[in-house]
Amino acid sequence: MAEGGRTAREKAAPDSEKITLNLGYVDLGRIDLLVQEGFYANRSDFIRTAIRNQLTREGEVVARTIERHTFDLGLRVLDRADLEAARAAGERLHVKVIGLVRIAADVDPDLARETIASITVLGSLQADAAVRAALAERIR
């Protein structure tokens, strides 16, 4: 025991987090079969590997999402073309700006609602009253 009754391991910040998940019996049996056949050391090894593989497959999406969630500094104008492009790409925008966000007059409330998941503005937001009302619960 280290000082204060805690071991050195307990004092160190953990490098992972424990999670709990529920699996169906058939899926669990299939995992156990792969472990038994030596493909994985144990269930946790299989689950960690599966998660890493999925994150690798989705790497580009994760990177774009992280990029989208960073703050812009200055002026950000959202016009119909921007929002229609986001809609066509199947994206929902999380707009974060320090400065001014201007939603152009050519943006209707339905398009704004479909494409803007949230707006965080440290500064000012300029938008038509109807668009503002459509996004009211998403404005922070």
CB-CB neighbours of 139 under 10 Å: 15
pLDDT of 1 strictly over 50: no
Q: What is the pLDDT of residues 95-134, one digit of tens each?
A: 999 899 999 999 999 999 999 999 999 999 999 999 999 9
Residues whose CB is less than 8 angstroms from the CB of residue 131 and which lie 6 or more positions away in sequence, other chains included? 103, 107, 108, 109, 112
pLDDT of 4 strictly over 70: no
pTM of the predicted protein model: 0.56
Angle (nearest 5°) at CA 61 between 55 and 66:
95
pLDDT of 34 strictly over 70: yes
Percent of the chain with pLDDT over 70: 86
What is the end-to-end Cα distance of the chain in Å, rounded? Answer: 48
**CA nearest neighbour of 43 among 62, 57, 58, 27:** 27
pLDDT band at 72 (very low <50, low <70, confident <90, very high): confident
- H helix and E strand count, the chain: 7, 3
